[in-house]
Copies of this chain bind each other. A is one copy, B any other.
């Protein structure tokens, strides 16, 4: 069972920091029921071990002028490994592409893109993505409105799971 190297306190720490990454260590320690020093040591260990990959302020994209969110389904001509990773590398260099995931099934990749407005997305689409080597097809879907957008994982589900397999 993965994640089992962690005890309940570690999981509580992760859950709390996922919900509020700027919580002070004192507050965090209080919430998970231990004193500050061991709490801080646990956090550092979780960071070193890679359970915590980083901390990020969640900024309001719309308020900042990124009014457009688009999902793009991309099909490639060749699925040879070298071609796949070449495309992934391109995605990493496109700032408008925030996420790039390789999929099973007919479509090869799904991209999550942001842009200031529709026209700047169109420019990216026609001049970059569609023109990129090995790209066979792109189907885009504009997000009309967002209903839910929570980062991370549901710790509730994890706890239930651990309780069952205890």
A interface residue numbers (CB < 8 A to B): 1-4, 6, 14, 17-22, 49-67, 69, 71, 88, 91-92, 95-105, 107, 109-110, 114, 116, 141-154, 156-158, 161
Contacts and interface: CB of A to CB of B under 8 A. Distances in A.
A110 to B, nearest CB: 6
B105 A64 contact: no
Contacts of A56: 17-21, 55-56, 58, 151-152
Contacts of A67: 2
A65 B20 contact: no
A30 B65 CA distance: 26
A110 B54 contact: no
B59 A91 contact: no
Nearest to A69: B101
A103 B151 contact: no
Contacts of A161: 65, 116
B141 A110 contact: yes
Contact of A53 (B59, B101, B104): B59
Contact of A22 (B55, B66, B88): B55
